[in-house]
Amino acid sequence: MNPYIQEMLVRDEGLRLTAYKCTAGKTTIGVGRNLDDVGISAEEADMLLQNDLVHIEAQAQTFPWYAGLDQVRQAVILSMLFNLGLRGFQGFTNTLKFIETGKYAQAATNMLASKWAKQVGQRANRLAEMMRSGVMVRR
């Protein structure tokens, strides 16, 4: 690898940690990565996902009852955190109370009664079934 190129490109392209439109109108991120034409590789997507999982796992652990859940129900929590963000997830106050007290059927029913469930469709049905049963659903 050329010892000068990275320094030059960071200086000339800049480093942007959120997507933006470059002067050519292309969606760009990082150090001039053209997402419209180049995209990202499967390895880069996996690296991003792994970083996101570390982040949402840390968020999940802020709920004192999270560690006591089985792995399937933990996965439900992580999926919802990933999809909704922490603030959106915290809006499920009744669902969270049901989970905290081990009332998983009521939590699942509450999940399905939400605006989120209408937005994500089958994902909500699958996650609610997993919350209710504690069994992984792969369909």
Q: Which residues, in sequence order, are CB contacts of 82 under 8 Å at separation 6+? A: 52, 53, 56
Output b/e per residue, 14-47; b: 16+ Cβ within 10 A. eeeeeeeebeeeeebbbebbeeeeeeeeeeeeee
Catalytic residue among 13, 57, 100, 129: 13
43 is known as an active-site residue? no
Domain residue limits, the chain: 5-34, 64-133
Q: What is the mean pLDDT of residues 108-132?
A: 97
DSSP code for 63 = S
What was the pLDDT predicted at 14? 95
The pLDDT-based confidence of 85 (bands split at 50, 70, 90) is: very high
Residues 7-60 pLDDT 10s = 999 999 999 999 999 999 999 999 999 999 999 999 999 999 999 999 999 999
What was the pLDDT predicted at 48? 96
CB 99, CB 69: distance < 8 Å: yes
pLDDT at residue 139 tops 90: no
SS3 47: helix
Report the percent of the chain where pLDDT is more than 90: 98
13 is known as an active-site residue? yes
Alpha carbons within 13 A on the beta-carbon side of 71: 2
CB 72, CB 136: distance < 8 Å: yes
**Which residue type sits at 136?**
M
Catalytic residue among 7, 22, 43, 57: 22
Q: How would CATH label the architecture of 64-133?
A: Orthogonal Bundle (1.10)
